[in-house]
Chains A and B, each alone.
Chain A
Amino acid sequence: MPDLSDAAKTEIRRLMAQFPHRQSALLGALFVAQEEAGVLFPEIVAQVAEVMRLPESEVTSVASFYHLFRFKPEGRHLIQVCTNVSCLLNGCDRALERLKHRLGIEVGETTPDGRFTLRTAECLAACEIAPMMMIGPDRHGPVQPEQIDEILGKYV
């Protein structure tokens, strides 16, 4: 596993300088590390802790609290299907079933080719397009099951 690059460490230090207390930059720093390394391996977490001069245990504890940090390898594109009330009412289950069928995986799994990871998500604040999902940074909705193939085709 590669070390964090100098560029990543510089970016983490830039984030630290934005706050009166350096620990405030921790979530941002973990995203910098995750975006570069793909996964918050223990060694990567240790390097974030070192750059930020924080206890490794504290950094691990914080990282483990939040949904968006990853501790095992995932696909290139994260699919988050909202299953909260507004999307439930508008048929998210059908879209989710179609996704599972097309990708051949269950929620929480990654396709064998490493292209997609499928997750359910809580309300993503876009209920006007329910049922909705996000793929990477993009919002999609209202998602009809028959559109799934076309949407997935945009992500290689």
Chain B
Amino acid sequence: MSESFLLRYVHEPDQGELDAYLSRGGYEGLRRALAMAPEQVTDEVEKSGLRGRGGAGFGTGRKWKFLPRDPAVTKYLVVNADEGEPGTFKDRTLLECDPHRLIEGIVIAGYAIGAHQAFIYLRREFHRARGLLERAIAQAYAKGYLGADIQGSGYRLDVVVATGAGAYIAGEETALLESLEGRRAMPRLKPPFYPAVKGLYMQPTALNNVETLCHVAWILARGQEWYRQQGAPILFSVSGHVQRPGVYELPLGTTIRKVLEAAGGMRPGRAFKACFPGGSSAAILPEAYLDTPMDYDLTKLDVYGSMLGSAALIVMDDSTCMVEVVARTVEFYRDESCGKCTPCREGTVWITQVFDRILHGQGRTEDLDLLNGIAKGMTGTCFCPLGESVPPAIYSTLRFFRHEYEHHIRTASCDVRAAAHA
């Protein structure tokens, strides 16, 4: 049976203090890591089965192994703390409740890959997290958990916090690197610019998410065997029409229904209608998929491009107009498109124009085919995942909630809203 650990200290007000963190077993993982060879640390993380929690779910240990071992090559560790996927708030929660856990994970990861400089790319709007993190970093430097000769090991690592300036696209790893280099956050071509090969300043770079590195600290503290017994826990951000929105720690593979139950279920008098299982970049799934396991591997979740993504479950009840939700979602991608590639820059504008007229009672019967056609034109053609995030919500709602679009077009009104407010 799994125990909650990532969120164990979320309600301890002093968890951000080094002394309190140490008294609760903090930096044990680092101590253990520094007694091992860097390759052993990487092996430990790989054996744990940990997959990146930023959304792509790539094996963390495997990712680190892509970096060259040669100590003469300058390598960097970059932490993606630019949480911005709609519906996701677990990294912000970790940053605010357990900042030393992240620092510990950073030092372990830096040691494993042989980096001496780490950068945390923090979302600018995270004012509270920035204050807590900078304070925790100063404490870690003062007590030899950062800087030269960490805990007498001879290993050196410096950490600098850099912030974004408001751009969802900066969460894409190569766009993040561009932004961290002080440029417009526009994604780089892959290949050749895989971060592990040509990353920050064209040097090999490991890019990891906040939650991922917190897992790393726990894996090293307790060992990969213990970690595996916990059933690969993951933080779900649950929001929308649920009774208790919040962050929940549950094993990977928990069904949508169980995650929903953990958040208190639906509100009184309301029924489940649909959800985004993995942030707004995932397809929208109706009730028939409630027993689908939320996992990276299981193809069941891959319905019209749905996915676990950042594990942000956005729940919608029977009062929700699906046309309005998708319209708002596409507007978001339109506003956040960097403009580098045509399918995303133009496609998001065209799609919002079609939604605008449908929602303003000027929809045409052929608009549904048009939406489908534009979405097809964006599928597999966009430069980066931002544009590719648009079609899933279109495809899935055209399939599962087509009657709502048709009703809007036929009657210039919303029967869902009318019923909800009746």
Q: Which residue of A lies closest to B95 (CB)?
A: A125
Q: Provide the bound-state CA to CA distance between A19 and B91, in Å.
A: 25
Q: A26-B182, A84-B328 are in contact. Are A123 and B88 (CB under 8 A)?
A: yes
Q: Is B162 an interface residue (CB 8 A)?
A: yes
Q: How far is the CA of A139 from the CA of B129 in the complex (A)?
A: 12
In the bound assembly, the distance between CA atoms of A84 and B125 in angstroms comes to: 15
- Cβ distance A58 to chain B, nearest Cβ, rounded Å: 8
Instruction: State the interface size on chain A (CB cutoff 8 A).
Output: 40
The answer to the question of B123 belonging to the interface, with a C-beta cut-off of 8 Å to chain A, is: yes
In the bound assembly, the distance between CA atoms of A130 and B247 in angstroms comes to 13
User: Distance in Å from the Cβ of B207 to the closest Cβ of chain A?
Assistant: 15
A85 CB–B CB distance under 8 Å: yes
Residue B180, interface by CB 8 Å: yes
Q: How far is the CA of A83 from the CA of B324 in the complex (A)?
A: 12
Contact mask for chain B residues 313-331; partner A; CB cutoff 8 A; 1 contact, 0 none: 0101000100011001100
Chain B residues with Cβ below 8 Å from A67 are 165-167
Nearest-neighbor residue (CB-CB) of B263 within chain A: A128
Q: CA separation between A90 and B128, bound complex, in Å?
A: 24
Q: Does A51 make an interface contact (CB < 8 A)?
A: no
Measured CB to CB, the nearest residue on chain B to A123 is B86
CB <8 Å contact, B167 and A127: no
Distance in Å: Cβ of B332 to nearest Cβ of chain A:
6
CB neighbours (8 Å) of A22 from chain B are 182
Q: Does B328 contact A85, Cβ atoms closer than 8 Å? A: yes
Question: In the bound complex, what is the Cα–Cα distance between A90 and B328 (angstroms)?
Answer: 14
- Say whether B37 faces chain A, with CB atoms less than 8 Å apart: no
Fill in one digit per residue for A59-71: 1 if any B CB lies within 8 Å of its CB, else 0. Answer: 0011001111100
Residue of A nearest to B131 (CB): A137
A68 CA / B170 CA spacing, docked (Å): 13
Tell me the A1-57 residues at the B interface (CB within 8 Å): 18-28, 30-31
Taking a contact as CB atoms closer than 8 A, the residue among A19, A65, A80, A124 that contacts B160 in the complex is: A19
Interface residues of B in 105-162 (CB under 8 A from A): 117, 123-128, 160, 162
Sorted nearest first, the 5 A-B pairs with minimum C-beta distance are A67-B166, A26-B182, A127-B239, A66-B165, A23-B182
28 pairs of residues in contact across A and B, judged by CB atoms under 8 Å: A20-B117, A21-B201, A26-B183, A27-B162, A28-B162, A31-B165, A67-B167, A69-B165, A84-B280, A85-B86, A85-B276, A86-B239, A86-B240, A88-B324, A89-B325, A90-B240, A122-B86, A122-B168, A122-B332, A123-B84, A125-B89, A125-B91, A125-B126, A127-B88, A127-B245, A128-B239, A130-B245, A134-B125
Interface set of A (CB-CB < 8 Å, partner B): 18-28, 30-31, 61-62, 65-69, 80, 83-86, 88-90, 122-130, 134, 137, 139
